[in-house]
Structure 1
Amino acid sequence: MIQQIEARLEAKLFDRDTRKARLTPAGECLYPLALRIVQEYEKAFAEYDEFAAGRRGVVRISALPSLAAMLLPGVIACFRQHHPDVDLDIREDIGAPVYQGLLDRVTDIGLAPPPQSSDDLRYKPLLRDEVVLVVRRDDPLARTKSQDWSILADREFVTTSRETGLRAMIDHALQEAGVQAEPLLSSKQPATVGSLVHAKVGIGVLSRLTLAQLDSSSLVGVPLRGPVVARSLGVVTHIGRSLSPAARLLLAEIEKQAGNLSALLNAPGSQRR
């Protein structure tokens, strides 16, 4: 190795005799440079070891607002206890932007319903989110065990706007039930729907997850029957993209916390809040 370096530099690095070797002026010049290279080498592999152990890196997540609000806070709190140096980037989107971010490789993990059609995306279900009627706690409907979709033809109602996946489910359920009804008002934000119900503008239609997101003691959810409508929510990843060690660890925490959230949403009486 020394001979190769000397040949490359066309300079002698050591003066040698029968008992010891001493650095030549060229060797003395090269020594601090070589020492710096060794230190940088060791530093680089130490940094990689941190990355490989999932203690460093960047994980980018795109999630439905309801999942971002109800699932991710607990996930992040637990994850950061053990991985404080991992940078997390959270983006809230509805519908297609979640999937497009994965396809464009600008996000690592998506939290959304299953993609309708894509050979490049992988979906793993995490929880079931049922559509419910949202009413004020002092509304007589709050004391009923369930309601048919026909209640929406009898009472003015508010719900989410057409660009949301939830609205498509509601419109399909009304069609399946043979009910002709249009919302009085619609909003992209579930919080606005909840506020309209609270203000007695009308009854509402949301999912259990979005109702829980409102964290309002004045509103309750009543199951809707004939048909029962629910959506699957889960993890979406790109089939052709490997997740980093940190992303895999975060995904494990997401799956753990989702199990707890699913149990809470589907517990008997949970819609009564």
Structure 2
Amino acid sequence: MRSTLTVHELEAFLAVAELRNFRLAAERVHVSQPALSRSVQSAEHKLDARLFDRNTRRVELTREGEELLPIARRIVGEFHDSLSDLSEFVAGRRGRIAIACLPSAAAALLPRAMSVFQDTHPRVTIALEPVSAEFVRTRVLDGSADFAISVAPPRQDGLAFEPLISDEFVCVCSRGDPLASRRRVSWSVLAERPLVASGPASSIRQIADRVMAQCGLAIQARYECANISVVGAMVSAGLGIAAIPRLALRLIDMSALAAIPLAGPGVSREMGILTRGGRSLPAAAASFLDVLRRQV
């Protein structure tokens, strides 16, 4: 099987082909003239073809050398372009960032940080996937997401969590509801009105259910919906009230709604950065997280 030419051998060939002088070619590629001659001879041996006709006065390309010249230029050019791309990637100036996040974080926290980041990293693309907390963890663990913005996982399971922001719960009702004029309401009000709840898999629902149980409130939701924007629409239609974190209000049409802080236990969900333990982040992802921390 014929040996493959190395990039070093192709560069030596190109230098001689373009300068038609072994001494000048050796100076260009920063090697001694004997070393350059050995590289050219190695290339000729691997190709089983003479690449140059040379004597004491001149160096000329053979027909085989003329055929190799454009191929060598393309291969060496692509090699150096690829190295340049790799350097850009290692420096965090090029690449792709995959982020899994709760929908509320996708709407409230990330767009501004993405805008600031793109000003300084225009060659980095960002893929944002809003999913529920359960799928957020899966995306980080299987490596399809570089990191996630989510609530703290119930179990570590190889994940690392860095707190980023506390997201306060509020009571959402229609603007025409008497509750809308109050400065604060207690969690017990959720037992007095029909409750519109998020889906069981939602981090919002899990926290709200836990708090209501701690308050001794055995509440059955009258309505339930996995889509938070639809929950808002149902409340707007007068079907009931809901307990929702403030960041999630970005996903709801609030034009006909009011948000009132919930008294009693000061409840908030802690949102943060979820990464896989022991896994180094790509440079671009680490740079984006620095921007996000400053923005938050």
**Residue matched to 2:29:** none
Choose which of 161, 165, 190 in structure 2 pairs with 1:123: 161
**Counterpart Cα distance in 2 of 1:5 and 1:212:** 64
**Residue matched to 1:251:** 289
**Residue matched to 2:74:** 36
Choose which of 166, 170, 177 in structure 1 pairs with 2:208: 170
**Residue matched to 1:4:** 42
Deviations 1:41-100 (A, max 9, x none): 222122223323433222111111111122222223333333333232221211211111
- Alpha carbons 1:147, 1:224 under 8 Å: kept: yes
1:20 aligns with 2:69: no
**SS in structure 1 opposite 2:280?**
coil
**SS in structure 2 opposite 1:255?**
helix
Q: Which amino acid letter does the alignment assign opposite residue 123 of structure 1? A: F
- Alpha carbons 1:135, 1:142 under 8 Å: kept: yes
Which blocks of at least 5 consecutive residues in structure 1 are unaligned? Answer: 260-273
Structure 1 residue 135, shift from structure 2 partner: 2.1
**Residue matched to 1:271:** none
Q: Which has the higher contact order (CA 8 A, sep 6+)?
A: 1
Q: Which amino acid letter does the alignment assign opposite residue 55 of structure 1? A: R
Distance 1:33 1:181, change over 3 A: closer
Q: For structure 1, which segment, 229-238 or 137-146, has the greater mean C-alpha deviation from structure 2 after superposition? A: 137-146
**Counterpart Cα distance in 1 of 2:151 and 2:122:** 29
**Counterpart Cα distance in 1 of 2:63 and 2:233:** 80
1:223 aligns with 2:261: yes
**Residue matched to 1:109:** 147
Choose which of 192, 196, 201 in structure 2 pairs with 1:154: 192
**Counterpart Cα distance in 1 of 2:249 and 2:55:** 85
**Counterpart Cα distance in 2 of 1:146 and 1:10:** 87
- Alpha carbons 2:100, 2:147 under 8 Å: kept: yes
**Counterpart Cα distance in 2 of 1:253 and 1:163:** 30
**Residue matched to 1:72:** 110
- Alpha carbons 2:193, 2:241 under 8 Å: kept: yes
How many matched pairs? 258
Q: Which amino acid letter does the alignment assign opposite residue 82 of structure 2? A: A
Distance 1:165 1:2, change over 3 A: same
- Give % identity: 37
Structure 1 residue 129, shift from structure 2 partner: 0.8
Structure 1 residue 193, shift from structure 2 partner: 2.0
- Alpha carbons 1:176, 1:227 under 8 Å: kept: no
Q: Which amino acid letter does the alignment assign opposite residue 170 of structure 1? A: A
- Alpha carbons 1:134, 1:219 under 8 Å: kept: yes
Structure 1 residue 215, shift from structure 2 partner: 4.5
- Alpha carbons 2:171, 2:241 under 8 Å: kept: yes
- Alpha carbons 2:50, 2:65 under 8 Å: kept: yes
Q: For structure 1, which segment, 190-199 or 230-239, has the greater mean C-alpha deviation from structure 2 after superposition? A: 190-199
The TM-score with structure 1 as length reference comes to 0.85
